[in-house]
Amino acid sequence: MPTILTSVKASQRLDSRGKPTVQVEVETRDGKFRAIVPSGASKGDYEAIELRDGGEAYGGNGVEQAVRNVQEIIGPALSGRQFDLELGLKDVDYFMIKLDGSSDKSDLGANAILGVSMACARACAAAKKIPLYDFLASELQSRHKEYVVPVPFFNVLNGGVHSGNTMAFQEFMIAPTGAASITQGIQWAAEVYQALKSIIIKKFGKAAIGIGDEGGFAPPITRPSEALDLIMAAIEAAGHEGRFRIGIDPASSEFYRDGDYDLGFKSDTPQRYTSTELADLYRSLVDKYPIVLLEDPFAQDDWDSWKSFHIISKLANIELVGDDLLATNIRRIEMAAKADACDSLLLKINQIGTISEAIAAAERAYELGWSVFVSHRSGETTDDFIADLTVAIGCGHLKSGAPCRGERVAKYNRLMDIEEELEARNLGSSYAGESFRHAHS
């Protein structure tokens, strides 16, 4: 007897910034399955389109139209087709893509479609009576032989559009690559985070320990070297020297101005860099600090700068991650591959709008010999879906913010649960550690 959807409902709820988002609940004979959709602040031009209502309610950010699209269009259409969820998610997802009919999901809304896709993935897993990560792994064609628990990259210092300080670079992340397990890595990161808090209080006062959208501290600093010096001091103070590596997400599209990069875009004093000067800044930081990953160091359409810097990053063994450049979109991935512009995909499920397409993007990245780096959004929810997804695709690393705020730690807590569960199930698994870039292979 097939497992079919008997009900599809949607509601307007709030994300971590207090803005509306879409919650979807689907029902089958196995029970009810819920998902809540995240949203980004620094959005690239090539992302799938989330629907917002406009008007006065919630400052125009309401999602009642997206909710109605689930209730009145997507839900009835899916129920009418009576998909057997035991057969997987792809048919459901690609039916919704066709139902929308646009190239960017702007008709029904990526936030409407993704909510249904996530909830249906959970229903598919229940239909097969397996954990979500098992089900998602079964949707991956190049499934690995054993599970890899990822290295978490914690955004402990916030800048850019995620904070109120004058730091142009958006994220400074610490990664416990020297840990033996994710449980140990999370412990170490929490200790560094608390040490960083104490250092900031001592240097700037208690008023400086306010946090940004992703839980990282946002002290009154401007220069990247100031952020990195604080991080190195915190790692030393916590007793974890040599156990951490660092990742930086400048989110440079946010400060790209007429062919140059303005690192003073959050202040009254412009600090304009040419792409060559910005590349030199990155090189100086890589030479001085244990940086292993750079995400979006140049703007989403500054292809020449990406191509030139990729030569440098390969020589320095730095993972060069495309976020706005790629938008979790296979067409953009192919463009970047042809240009030899980067070697890693930042995977954000709401950039593309269905779980099946996100998995397909990861598959293509692996075929190209790239790495995959799973990411949350700055407007997050307590839904821990991406934790299961990261383990399922075996990509070896993810970022979900600081070890702070419920919507961030929900993912880290879920990963510790999965680690314990894999051990209890006696399945082959390992912690990615220093090999995080190549975990899948």
List, as residue ranges, the binding site for substrate.
162, 171, 295, 323, 375-378, 399
Q: Which residues contact 11 (CB under 8 A, 6 or more apart)?
A: 22, 23, 25, 67
Q: What's the one-letter identity of residue 105?
A: K
Q: Is 421 a catalytic residue?
A: no
Rounded Cα–Cα distance for residues 228 and 285 (Å):
9
Q: Are 162 and 42 in contact (CB under 8 A)?
A: yes
Q: Which of 43, 197, 266, 348 is flagged as catalytic? A: 348
Residue 345, phi then psi, degrees to nearest 5: -100, 125
Tokens linked to 99: 């139902």
Closest C-alpha among 416, 17, 415, 402 to residue 191: 402
Q: Which residues contact 208 (CB under 8 A, 6 or more apart)?
A: 200, 201, 217, 219, 220
Q: Tell me the binding residues for Mg(2+).
A: 249, 295, 323
- Helix 303-316 and helix 330-339, axial crossing angle in degrees, nearest 10: 70
Rounded Cα–Cα distance for residues 346 and 370 (Å):
11
Rounded Cα–Cα distance for residues 36 and 12 (Å):
9
Rounded Cα–Cα distance for residues 62 and 287 (Å):
46
Rounded Cα–Cα distance for residues 324 and 317 (Å):
22
Q: Which of 139, 214, 319, 407 is flagged as catalytic? A: 214
Q: Are 234 and 216 in contact (CB under 8 A)?
A: no
Tokens linked to 406: 């419920």
Q: Tell me the binding residues.
A: 162, 171, 249, 295, 323, 375-378, 399
SS3 182: helix
SS3 149: strand
Query: How many CB atoms within 10 Å of residue 273?
Result: 18
Tokens linked to 118: 């996530």
Q: Which residues contact 296 (CB under 8 A, 6 or more apart)?
A: 249, 250, 251, 252, 253, 321, 322, 323, 324, 325, 346
As a dihedral over the C-alpha atoms of residue 184, residue 188, residue 190, residue 193, rounded to 10 degrees, the angle is: -160
Q: Is 348 a catalytic residue?
A: yes
Q: What is the end-to-end Cα distance of the chain in Å, rounded?
A: 38
Rounded Cα–Cα distance for residues 217 and 320 (Å):
25
Q: Are 422 and 387 in contact (CB under 8 A)?
A: no
Which residues does the annotation mark as catalytic? 214, 348
